[in-house]
């Protein structure tokens, strides 16, 4: 009994620390190709001129990934289907805000940003959460 009593604080500490579990947020990214609705022009394959895209996460967790140029799905296919970007986190509550910013130059200055999309996802205890995000054209860029 005394040994058990001595172990109780350790067990309580482990229980208080909890066991972290990864949660994966698979965000399917598409580019809006409807120019009349704030999308990129299909003529001239406007999405194909994008050099760099940066996805940032804020809210319950934070992170960012820089993609491109000529890697990780860039340049964007002409059909606008970029694919899935996966974010791993221990967060299982609150909201995760995914923001995708794309630039038509490797210098990711604000004047070179041409596309942006945002999606807020409620964090969950599920192992994998899937959602989608659409990138719209926001500016002409610097090229």
Partner 1 sequence: MSPLAPFRKWTLSAGIVIALVVTLPLVGLPRVAHADLGDSKSTTADQVEDNDKPKDPSLLDKKPADAAVAQQQQAPIGPPFYEKWQFWAIAGAVVVGAVALIWGGSALYHTIHGGDVRPCNPDFQMRCFGEGQ
Q: Which stretch binds partner 1 (CB under 8 A): 12-20, 41-49, 102-110, 131-139?
A: 12-20
Kindly tell me which residue out of 34, 35, 48, 86 binds partner 1, with binding defined by CB under 8 A.
Answer: 86
Q: Does 9 bind partner 1 (CB under 8 A)?
A: no
Q: Does 63 bind partner 1 (CB under 8 A)?
A: yes
| Number of residues forming the site for partner 1 (CB under 8 A) | 27
Task: Report yes or no: 71 and 50 within 8 Å, Cβ to Cβ.
Answer: no
- Nearer residue to partner 1 within complex by CB, 19 or 43: 19
The Cα-based distances of 5 to 15, 17, 135 in angstroms read 15, 19, 58
Cα atoms in the Cβ-side hemisphere of radius 13 Å centred on 17 = 7
Give min distance, CB of 121 to partner 1, in A.
13
Output the CA torsion sign for 125, 98, 30, 107. negative
**Two tokens at 137?**
């054209």
How many Cβ atoms from other residues are within 10 Å of residue 104's Cβ? Answer: 19
Give min distance, CB of 129 to partner 1, in A.
12
Residue appearing with tokens 């500490």: 13
Residues at the contact surface with partner 1, assessed by CB under 8 A: 14, 17-22, 24-25, 55, 57, 61, 63-65, 67, 71-73, 83-90
């Amino acid at each position: 009994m005394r040994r058990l009593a001595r172990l109780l604080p350790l067990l309580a500490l482990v229980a208080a620390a909890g066991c972290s579990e990864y949660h994966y947020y698979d965000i399917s990214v598409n580019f809006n190709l409807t120019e009349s609705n704030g999308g990129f022009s299909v003529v001239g394959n406007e999405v194909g001129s994008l050099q760099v895209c940066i996805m940032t996460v804020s809210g319950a967790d934070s992170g960012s990934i820089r993609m491109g140029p000529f890697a990780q799905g860039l340049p964007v296919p002409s059909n606008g289907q970029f694919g899935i970007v996966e974010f791993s986190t221990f967060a299982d509550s609150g909201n995760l805000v995914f923001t995708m910013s794309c630039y038509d130059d490797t210098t990711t200055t604000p004047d070179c940003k041409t596309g942006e999309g945002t999606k807020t996802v409620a964090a969950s205890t599920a192992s994998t959460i899937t959602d989608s995000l659409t990138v719209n054209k926001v500016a002409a860029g610097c090229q």
